[in-house]
Amino acid sequence: NAGVMQNPRHLVRRRGQEARLRCSPMKGHSHVYWYRQLPEEGLKFMVYLQKENIIDESGMPKERFSAEFPKEGPSILRIQQVVRGDSAAYFCASSPKDRGGYTFGSGTRLTVV
């Protein structure tokens, strides 16, 4: 059962480096969502993408964060010049066309040192 695959599972970056988080949606799913979970908090929506389109990025920080979902390959959440406050768990979820329910991946735990 190939669910939503996120890698890496754990990522350590020094302040100022770039972090790239990958999400491969379930087979047949064309919609991807990214959520961030700060320690001891619930998940907060970041961005919603379809293939080659950003549909809703209302939860994305204005600077340093970007996301893409290319025609081929996984969705990428990119964080430039990471700071300690970026340390969190980042979850990806996918759904089939816009009438499908969510499936979450296992998350990527980013630690900035």
Which residues contribute to the site for other proteins (CB under 8 A)?
31, 33, 35, 40-45, 48, 56, 59, 89, 91, 93, 95, 98-107, 109
* Least spacing, CB of residue 81 vs other proteins, in Å: 26
The CA-CA-CA angle for residues 69, 74, 77, to 5°, reads: 65
Task: Decide whether 18 or 56 has the Cβ nearer to other proteins.
Answer: 56
* Least spacing, CB of residue 90 vs other proteins, in Å: 11
The token duo for 103 is 């499936």
Q: Dihedral angle at the C-alpha atoms of 38, 44, 46, 48, nearest 10 degrees?
A: 140
* Least spacing, CB of residue 56 vs other proteins, in Å: 7
Q: What are the C-alpha distances in Å from 2 to residues 27, 67, 105?
A: 8, 23, 10
